[in-house]
Amino acid sequence: MKKILLVGGCSYSNEKFNSVHHPDLDVSWPKWPQLLAEKLDMQLINLSESGAGQEYIYSNIIDKLQTIDHSKIGLVIAAWSTAPRRDYQIESLYLKNKKWTYDKNDMIQKIKWTNDMYDSKGCMHYWIDRSLRYYYSLQMVCENLKLPYKQFQMVDLFKGYLWQELISRRTNDVADNKQVPIINNVDDLTKEEKYWKETQEKKYLAQIHNSPYYEIINNNFIGWPTDPRLNGYSVGEKVLDNNTDRISKIDLHPNKQGQEKLARFIYDRLG
């Protein structure tokens, strides 16, 4: 019987991913978890969801571990998301059975996960600390259970947030009937915007470097401590070429070639 590859992640890893920017585009190509499972000859359980943050990724991996015979697990992988995302669970009503007419007795109440792209509480310093706690906690759970595992930063912890902040600053000067600017290239920034972005990045990098988890997150974290300026990297930025491996200039998710490159890169670092 094949061992299980258990993966948690965000939209970069979601086998049911749909492009918000290009809703008519067929994006059904195999995602890196499926490609990796084939390379490893393992059975895939992919828990990834679009928009997921660290709490969703951590919680769903931990919850799933309670339902699986640990001897059947070949590898656990957490492909971490950006720090500001907020995950939480809500009550929702579902139909017990699909039919044309129904009443309240046909409904069943369940708890489901949802998320916000940006947490309305806290600040980036808090969001970074929160992320690192999840990273270290997953490390210790897998070590304690003697499970093989890898984790990595799939998308950058804070850069996306900074781009959104810059867009928000510009949209204050944009009339309602005009298109909101797309900014994701340093060359498009003003001198003042570049200075602000660089200043914020230095603060956030210092937050990672000065964290009590900086020295104790181990080598099972591929690319730790997640940024080249700290001698680490996020896997998405490390692997994907912006011109050839992403869906478009406005949808930076990996395309078919990008997913294949991610699978090869991760596979080569499992030894």
CA angle 116, 201, 84 (to 5 degrees): 10
Give pLDDT tens digits for 21-53.
999 999 999 999 999 999 999 999 999 999 999
Asked if omega into 212 is within 30° of 0 (cis), the reply is no
Return mean pLDDT, the chain. 92
Give pLDDT tens digits for 136-154.
999 999 999 999 999 999 9
Looking at residue 96, its pLDDT comes to 61
Angstrom distance (rounded) from CA 108 to CA 91:
10
Could you tell me the pTM of the whole model?
Answer: 0.91
Long-range contacts of 96-101 (CB under 8 A, 24+ apart): none
3-state secondary structure of 247: coil
3-state secondary structure of 81: coil
pLDDT, greater one: 48 or 185:
48
pLDDT band at 102 (very low <50, low <70, confident <90, very high): low
How do beta strands 86-95 and 107-116 pair? antiparallel
Looking at residue 173, its pLDDT comes to 55
- DSSP string of 122-171, one letter each residue: S-HHHHHHHHHHHHHHHHHHHHHHT--EEEEESS-SSHHHHHHHHHHHHH
